[in-house]
Amino acid sequence: MASIECPKCKEVIETTGLVTVCPKCGADMSGVMEELSHTEGAHGGFARDESMTTHEFIVRTKGLTKIYVMGEVQVPALQSVDLEIRRGEYLSIMGPSGSGKSTLFNLVGGLDKPTAGSCYIEEVDMAQLDAFELAWLRCRKIGYIFQTFNLIPVMTAMENVTLPMIFAGMTSDEMLERGAMLLDIVGLGDRLHHKPYELSGGQQQRVAVARSLANSPAIILADEPTGNLDLQTGKEIIDLLKRLNRESETTVISATHDLKMIDVSDRIVHIRDGAIERIDDRADIDLEIGSMDGEEE
C-alpha cells in the first residue's frame, strides 16, 4: 500500500496500484505516480513483488504462458517464459515464424493478457492494474513500433507523432514543439505535414519510431521493425534505435529475424515453440559475428 498526495487539493490517497487522476478534485496524478515509480522501497507495497527490493529489472516475466483457444483447438503460443530484462538493455528476440515473439510482445506491452504467469514492469504486476492504470502504463512507459508501421493514414506525420501526447495531457504548443523535435531526430524535419501515403516505407517507419518516443517511454517494444524495409533502410532504423538506447538509456526490446540486429544487441533471446531455447550474451554474440565473418572469407 502506498500513500500519495494530490498536488492540487492535497488529498492523501492510499493505493496499491497506479492512480491517474485525483478521486477528489480530478487533478492529473501522473507526475506523482512517476515520482513514486522511481522511489524504491519507500512506499512499501504498490502492487510489487515483495521478493524484489530494487528495480534491477525493468521487465520481468515469471511462468508467462499464453494458450489461444479456437473452438475445440488449443494453441500453446507461449509456454512458461521466465525472462529478466535490465534497464537500458538492447534485447533482441529471435525465433522462427510462429515461435511466439509477437505473443510475448503483446503480453509485455499490456495489449493482451496471459493465460498463466505474470509480467512485471518496474516490479508492478500488470495483472493487478485496472483498465485506467494499464492505459496509463502503456501511454507513459512503453513505446510501440510494429512491422507494418500502423500509422493513421488520414493524419500527417506530425499528427501521428503527437497523438499519444494528447492522451498524456500535453498542451498543443508543447505537442507541436516536441513533435517537430522528434521528427527532426529521425531525419524527417522536412516531412512534418506529409501523410503516410506521401512517405516511403522507411520514412513511415521513422515516423513510427518518432511516435513511439512521444511520451519518453522507458521501454520501446519493436516487433520486427525492419521486416518490411530494404536492407539499407532497415539498417538506418536499427542504428536509430541503438542511438536512442545508448543516449537516453531507453530499454529496447525487439523481435526480429534480421541478422543485422545481432550486432547492436546486448543479449539475444532465442525462442522456439513458445519457450526460451537459449540466451546469448555479448560474448556469445561476438563469437557468432566472428564465425559469420569467417564464413564470408
| Chain positions contacting Mg ion, by CB under 5 A | 101-102
17 binds, among Mg ion, ligand ATP, none (CB under 5 to 8 A by kind): none
Q: Which stretch binds ligand ATP (CB under 6 A): 28-36, 42-50, 97-105, 202-210?
A: 97-105
| 101 scored as a contact of ligand ATP (CB under 6 A) | yes
Q: What are the b/e assignments for 70-82, b being 16+ CB within 10 Å?
A: eeeeeebbbbebe
| Strand-pair partners of 64 | 81
191 binds, among ligand ATP, Mg ion, none (CB under 5 to 8 A by kind): none
Q: Which of 103, 162, 251, 265 binds ligand ATP (CB under 6 A)?
A: 103
Q: Kindly give, in sequence order, each residue whose CB lies less than 8 Å from that of residue 111, ignoring residues fewer than 6 positions away.
A: 105, 138
| Strand-pair partners of 81 | 64
Q: Which stretch binds ligand ATP (CB under 6 A): 70-78, 148-156, 175-183, 289-297?
A: 70-78
Site for ligand ATP in 30-69 (CB under 6 A): 68
Q: Is residue 47 within 8 Å of residue 129, measured between CB atoms?
A: yes
| 109 scored as a contact of ligand ATP (CB under 6 A) | no
95 binds, among ligand ATP, Mg ion, none (CB under 5 to 8 A by kind): ligand ATP
Burial (CB count <10 Å: 0-12, 13-18, 19+), residue 94? buried
| Strand-pair partners of 5 | 12
Q: Which stretch binds ligand ATP (CB under 6 A): 3-11, 43-51, 52-60, 96-104?
A: 96-104
Q: Kindly give, in sequence order, each residue whose CB lies less than 8 Å from that of residue 52, ignoring residues fewer than 6 positions away.
A: 60, 120, 123
- Grid cell 524484489 is found at 52
| 99 scored as a contact of ligand ATP (CB under 6 A) | yes
Q: Which of 98, 130, 198, 259 binds ligand ATP (CB under 6 A)?
A: 98
Q: How far is the CB of 231 from ligand ATP (least distance, A)?
A: 19
C-beta closer to Mg ion: residue 65 or 254: 254
C-beta closer to ligand ATP: residue 102 or 160: 102
C-beta closer to ligand ATP: residue 101 or 211: 101
Q: Is residue 202 within 8 Å of residue 236, measured between CB atoms?
A: yes
12 binds, among ligand ATP, Mg ion, none (CB under 5 to 8 A by kind): none
Q: How far is the CB of 102 from ligand ATP (least distance, A)?
A: 3
The phi and psi torsions of 132 (rounded to 5 degrees) equal -70, -45
Could you tell me which of 199, 208, 159 has the C-alpha nearest to residue 180?
159
What is the size of the binding site for ligand ATP (CB under 6 A)?
12
Q: What is the C-alpha to C-alpha distance for residues 45 and 210, in angstroms, rounded to an integer? A: 35
CA 271 to chain centre: 19
| 17 scored as a contact of ligand ATP (CB under 6 A) | no
| 102 scored as a contact of ligand ATP (CB under 6 A) | yes
Please provide the size of the chain in residues.
297
Q: Is residue 59 within 8 Å of residue 119, measured between CB atoms?
A: yes
| 75 scored as a contact of ligand ATP (CB under 6 A) | yes
Residue nearest to Mg ion (CB): 102
Binding site for ligand ATP (CB under 6 A): 68, 70, 75, 77, 95, 97-103
